[in-house]
Each structure stands twice: as C-alpha cells, then as structure tokens.
C-alpha cells in the first residue's frame, strides 16, 4: 500500500478540512447575496407601494387647500 510521508499526510488532511470550510463559506456567501437581492426587491416594492399611497394623499391635500376659506365640507382621504 502507498504511504504518504507524515508531512504529506498533514498537508492532505488540512487541505481536505480547508476545502470543506471554504465550500461552506462560499455557500453561505451565495445565500447572503441571495437574501440581499430579495431584500432589495422587497424594498423596491415597499417604495412603489408608498409612492402609490402618497399620490392620492397629494390630490386630497390639494383639494383641501382649494376648498379652505369656503364653507364646502372637507374631503377625507379614503386611503
């Protein structure tokens, strides 16, 4: 049977464990990047939603400003 020298054996063992640790680290960083992308997309959706909600508010506020000074009833935002 082939037998590696003791110093070779140490190199082989550490390279096996190092490969495993590096693989786990690479996998975790890929997962982290994926979560960041999901988080970014979620943020974009929230911003879109906020923009959609802000538009009707702006219209309502403009309407209230025009009506102020008159006896017209105040418009209430339905949003």
Partner 1 sequence: MPYSTFSWKTETGPGSRFNMTGRGLKTLSIATVLFLMAGFALVFLWVPMDADQGFKQKIFYLHVPLAIVALLGFIAGGVEGYRHLRTGDRRHDANSYVFIHISVTFGVAVLVTGAIWAKASWGYWWVWDEPTLVSFLIVFLLYCTYYPFRYAIEDRDRQARYASVFAITAGAFVPLNFMAVRMAESVIHPRVFATSEGGLPDSMLLTFLVCFVGIGLLWITLVKTEMVGKKVSGQVSYLRRRLHDDGSGGSVGGRIAPSVEAK
* Token pair recorded at residue 5: 């020298």
Q: Which is nearer to partner 1, 45 or 66 (CB)?
A: 45
Range 16-55, binding partner 1 (CB under 8 A): 16-17, 19-20, 23-24, 27, 31, 34-43, 45-50, 52
- Provide the residue count of the chain: 79
DSSP 1: -
Instruction: Tell me how many residues contact partner 1 (CB under 8 A).
Output: 36
CA 14 – CA 11 distance, rounded (Å): 5
CA 47 – CA 38 distance, rounded (Å): 14
User: For binding to partner 1 (CB under 8 A), which residues are involved?
Assistant: 1-4, 6, 8-10, 12-13, 15-17, 19-20, 23-24, 27, 31, 34-43, 45-50, 52
């Amino acid at each position: 049977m082939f037998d590696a020298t003791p110093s070779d054996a140490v190199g082989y063992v550490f390279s096996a464990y190092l490969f495993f640790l590096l693989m786990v680290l690479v996998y975790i960083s890929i997962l982290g990047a994926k979560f960041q992308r999901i988080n970014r997309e979620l943020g974009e959706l929230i911003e879109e939603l906020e923009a959609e909600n802000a538009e009707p508010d702006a219209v309502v506020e403009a309407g209230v400003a025009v009506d102020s000074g008159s006896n017209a009833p105040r418009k209430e935002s339905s949003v």
